Amino acid sequence: AQSVTQLGSHVSVSEGALVLLRCNYSSSVPPYLFWYVQYPNQGLQLLLKYTSAATLVKGINGFEAEFKKSETSFHLTKPSAHMSDAAEYFCAVSRSYNTDKLIFGTGTRLQVFP
């Protein structure tokens, strides 16, 4: 069964610092991978997705993620954090080639300090 593991339930960075949110997946076949962001009291919003094209995927708000098959990782990065990036971030894997059903990690809450 496919699953994802997000290391670190909380990450704190200073404004302007690098953001690195970790995600590792387990899958017997090349997966589709997603990062979603959830701002307070809002639904989830897609940041980016990997669907076996380019391994470096660029998303919204300056975020990007790199698919590394050898490490089974799909870490999310942003070179310079902004206060508005404070939110909860979820990594997800698509479990099926018949549906768009996603299996989510437990999430990482990002805090950004001035």
- The verdict on 63 binding other proteins (CB under 8 A) reads no
> Within 13 Å and on the Cβ side, how many CA atoms surround 108?
25
Shortest gap between Cβ of 95 and other proteins (angstroms)?
8
Considering only the stretches 17-25, 40-48, 55-63, 76-84, report the one whose residues sit in contact with other proteins under the rule CB under 8 A. 40-48
The span from the CA of 16 to the CA of 6, in Å, is 23
Considering only the stretches 15-23, 70-78, 79-87, 88-96, report the one whose residues sit in contact with other proteins under the rule CB under 8 A. 88-96
- The verdict on 12 binding other proteins (CB under 8 A) reads no
- The verdict on 5 binding other proteins (CB under 8 A) reads no
Place of tokens 């997946």: 25
- The verdict on 28 binding other proteins (CB under 8 A) reads no
Mention every residue, 6+ apart, whose C-beta is less than 8 A from residue 5.
23, 24, 25, 26, 105
